[in-house]
Chain A
Amino acid sequence: MGTAPPGRPPAPGTPRVRRLLGAAAFPALFVGLVVGMTQLPEFGDPASPASTHLSPRFIEDAAAETGAANMVTAVLADYRGYDTLGEAAVIFAAGLGCLVILAAAGARPDPPGAGMSHPFGSVVLDAATRILVPVVLLFAVYVLIHGHVSPGGGFQGGVLFGSGLIMMRLVWGPAHEGRAHQPAVPAFGPGLRGSLVLACAGILAYVGIGLAAMAFGGEFLNYGTLPLGGDPAHVRELATLGIEAAVFLTVAGTVAVLFDTISIGMRESGAPLPPGDGDSA
C-alpha cells in the first residue's frame, strides 16, 4: 500500500524500500496463489472433503444439535460462528469508515441545493409513513426470530429494520433535527449517535456471548456450555437466537449510520457531526 492516491504515480517521497518490497511481494503472492489454486478440489466435486465429511455431518446433525430447523441458521450462527462474527465486523467497519470519511467531507460546503438539505415529507408521505413504518419494523423482528425455522435471520431482519429507520429519516428529516423544529413528528428511533450505539452493542454482544461460553468452560463461540437450562440443543438454540439478535443490531445500526453519514456528507451547509441527537433520554 503506497501513500499515493489511487490512479496516480507514487509521490516522489515514497520510500524506495517500500516500492521494492511491493515489487517483490506481488510476484510471490501471485505465484503462491496460482500454485495453491491448482491443488483445490474441483467445484462441485462429490469426492472432496467438504462434500464427503462436512456437508453430511451438518445435514444429519444440525437439527438435533442446534434445535434449528433452518439448517442455514445452524451453520451460519453456530458451526461457523467465527465466520459470521467476521462478517458482522466487516459491516460494522464499513459503517465506521463511512462515518470517518463522509462526515469529514460534510465539513466542506457543497453547492447549494445538493442532497437532502431539508426533510422530504408531505402530508401524504407523513400519513403513509406513520402506518407503514411500524409494520416494517415489526416484520423485521419477525424475520429475525423466524430465522430458526424459515429463511431469515439477523442480517435480513437487520436490513429491514434499518430500512424502516431510513424511511423515517427520508420523510421527517434526520432524527436529531425533527424533534426540535417539528413537534408533531413522532419521536421514535435512534439518531446517528443512537444508531452507532446500536451497532457497537451488537458487535459487543456477539463477542460477549462467545466469551461467556469460554467463561463456562467451552471454546469461544461454542455455546453448549452456557448455563441456560434445558438440554444442550435448546441451549444452543437460545444462544443462536442471541447471536442473530446481535447481528440484527449491528446491521440495523450500521445501515442507519451509513444513511446518516451519506446525507450529512451531501448537505449544503455541511455541518460536521451533530453534537447530540436527543435520543439519550
Chain B
Amino acid sequence: MTRAGVFARKELRDLGRHRIVWILGATLALAVVIAVVVASLAFRAQMADYQAYVADLASSGSAVTAAAPQLFPLQLLRGGLEYVEIIGALFAIVVGYGTIAREAARGTLPLIYTRSHGPRALVIGKLLGIAAFWAALVTVLVLVAGVTVALVGGSGLTVADAFRLAIAAAAAWVYLMFWSAVAVGLTATMRRPGTALILALGLWLAIVLIVPQIGDTMDPDNQVPGGLFKALAIAKPDELAVLAHFSHYEVTRNGLEVTSISKLFERISFGFLGIKDKYNQQSLGFVWADMYRYTWAMLALLTAGLGFAVSVTTRTRLLRKTA
C-alpha cells in the first residue's frame, strides 16, 4: 500500500473514532429525516384540503372539477438537500479542520515527518480518507432519505428515481469535499487552528448564506408574497419578455448566485431530482443541457479547493505550527 493509502486508512479510522463526527453525522441524518417527514405531512395536509374542497363542490352540486395535487416522491427531498447545503457544509468544515488540528494537538506531526514519504503524501492521504468518509456518509443519507420517502411519503422510488438520486448524491459528495478541502487548507495555513475554524465559519457564512441571500433579495419575483408576476397576473411567456428588458440586472444577479458553490449544488440537485418545476418529469438529457455548465463550475471549484489544500499543507507549515 502506498504511503498516501496508509494515511487515508488511518484518517478514516480516526474519523470513525471521533465522537463529534458521529454526533454531527447523526444530526445531519436526523435533519434530513425531519425534512422528508415534514414535506410528506405537508403533502397529506394539501391532499386533505383538496378532498374537502372536492366534497364541498360535490355537495353544492357544482360540475366544476379541480386537479388533484400530485405526489412526486423526489420532490419530498427538497428540505433534506437544503440541510445538506447549509448544515452539511458546516460539518464538512469541522471534519476538514479536525484532520489537521487533531494531529497538531496530539503532537504527532513531527513523528510523522521523521519517516520518509513524498512531500504531499500526508495531505493527499488525509483528503482520500475524508473522500471515503463523505462517500460513506452520503450513501447512508441517501438510504435514510429513500427509506423515509417510502415509509412516510407512502411512495417507493423507481430505478429511474434511484439513478437521479445517485446523481444528486454525487453532487453532494463534491460539495462536501470542497468544504472539507478548504478547511484543511485554512487549518494548515493558520498558526492557530481555532482561527482557521472561525475564518472557515466566516467563509461558510459568506458563500452558503450571504451570497445566495443577496441573490434571492435581488430577485424581483421574490418581493411580493406568492411572486410579483403572479400578483400582477402575468403569464410565463410575458414574464420572460418583460424580464428581457432587464437582462443586465438579471445577468448580474445570476452571476452573483453562481459564484456560490452552494447555489451550484442546489441548482444541480434540484434540476436532476425534478424539484424545480421546469425539470420535473423531464429526461436526463433535457436537464443536463441546462446543468452541464453548473456541473463543470462545481468540479472546477472542487479542483481549486483540493489544489489549495494540497499546495498549502506543507511540512514547513505543519511543523511551524507545532513549534
Does B bind A? Answer: no
